[in-house]
Amino acid sequence: MSRQQLTLRLAAADVPRAESLLELAGAETLSLGDAADDPVLEPARDTAPLWPNVMLRALFPATADLERLGTMLRNVFPNTPIEIKPLHDADWQGAMRQAFTARPIGTRAWLAPAEDTATPVGRTCIRLHMGLAFGTGEHPTTALCLEWLEAHVHSGITILDYGCGSGVLAIAALALGATCGFAVDNDPQALEATQANALLNGLTERLFIGLPEALPPVIADVLAANILASPLIDLAPQFAGQVRAGGALVLSGILEAQAAQVLAAYEPFFTGFECVALSGWVRLTATRRNAG
């Protein structure tokens, strides 16, 4: 299946906003590069590793209306060069391979493309197929969630991955020792991607995959949601009912300017908030209060 690529050149400060708009428009993958096309693969902790002028590339399905999206982006970012072009299978698959290379997550995990079979000694490997849904671990929002899971997941826990995309968060948690997981998304293509990635990692028997309305009653030890600030705010009461007392909440997809508003929505239900920022994006974590 062919894809389309939209490329725009931005000041580093504009990248988080542009990424958010592209995700809302249905981008399947995002990658960053400088004028020499050197990709950002693993930013250092607590740094914003962007060049003064950034090339942001987004892949979309062949049916996406990118001309209309390009017009909207030109209004938001005046004088920003935007290029739209079709990509044949070999082109977009090659672009994804360039944007996603194997890398460590913390001290325990190793994230790799499906075809990369080499795993460093002592690490747990999580492999992903390319490009059926957002979430290869490269984007700061996904990287922030993966770092938390690597540091906190232990055997015996359950995880709910809400808005699962590629399924990377639930799959990583299961690989790191979680007993079972639940992955939900309102995008059928995301569910297909999660199913394929769960099969690749041998985890299908321990992972429920389905639409949000098909989710059975769940009270999880960890609820992770890497979506966007507006739906996160709306979902706060629901999420409160899906995390056990003392359980953990992990939220991302939040711009730094939106963090306070998201935190306020969850304060009635959660405590012990911690906020970590990376490249203009935020991970918000908290502990579920006792129901009383």
All structural domains of the chain, each given as residue ranges with its CATH number in brackets, are 3-99 (3.30.70.120), 132-288 (3.40.50.150)
* Confidence (pLDDT) at 136: 57
Q: In angstroms, rounded to a whole number, what is the distance separating the alpha carbons of residues 208 and 159? A: 10
CA distances from 214 to 36, 210, 253 (A): 46, 6, 24
25 pLDDT band, cuts 50/70/90, is confident
Q: In angstroms, rounded to a whole number, what is the distance separating the alpha carbons of residues 52 and 45? A: 19
* Confidence (pLDDT) at 35: 40
pTM of the model as a whole: 0.72
Looking at residue 242, what DSSP letter applies? T
pLDDT at 93 exceeding the cut of 80: no
- Give Cβ neighbours of residue 117 (< 8 Å, ≥ 6 apart): none
Looking at residue 77, what DSSP letter applies? S
